[in-house]
Amino acid sequence: MSTRVLKIALAASVALNLFAIAAGVTTVVAQAREEQRIEAQHRIPRERSPFHAVLARLDPEVRQQVKSALKASALAARPDFDEARAKRREAVALAASDGFDADRVVALLTESRTAELRGRARLEADAVQLLATLEPADRAALSEILNRRGRNGVRDQRPAQPQAEKAG
């Protein structure tokens, strides 16, 4: 074979290899995109948070007023919740340390609960004040925020008992 034929064969081989590599990459990328599309179809859509669902039911004119009032209330109660977390962390650290003092751990946990209850009371009082300013339809929609939410995120679903039943 002449050098010219070898050069042509080499060039053709290189071109064919480049074509094969490009086809392989295209196939892998297309397969990955298809897998993502299928996975997205099977994925459960993320629902909006319960709070956003409550806000969505409000009259749009009232929604911004409610959001800003609740945000201000949360910011005002934040120091209480920060204190509660700090006291609880301190109690946990003391319980895990060599200088364990049961009375001090109990006192820190009590202080933590007190601070948390103070913050929760502030949030609830502010929520009630806000509810008093709303129209009945908006108040009914927003009243759901008074349900307590536990650590596991579950709200208290027990139906409210009428006053007559509570007395008896």
CB of 58 closer than 8 Å to CB of 135: no
CB of 56 closer than 8 Å to CB of 142: no
Q: Quick: pLDDT tens for 131-167.
A: 898 888 888 888 888 876 544 444 444 444 444 444 4
Q: How many residues does the chain have?
A: 168
Q: Place 21 in a pLDDT band, splitting at 50, 70 and 90.
A: very high
Please list, in sequence order, all residues whose beta carbon lies within 8 angstroms of the beta carbon of residue 7, skipping any fewer than 6 positions away.
Answer: none
Q: Quick: pLDDT tens for 32-49.
A: 999 888 887 776 555 556
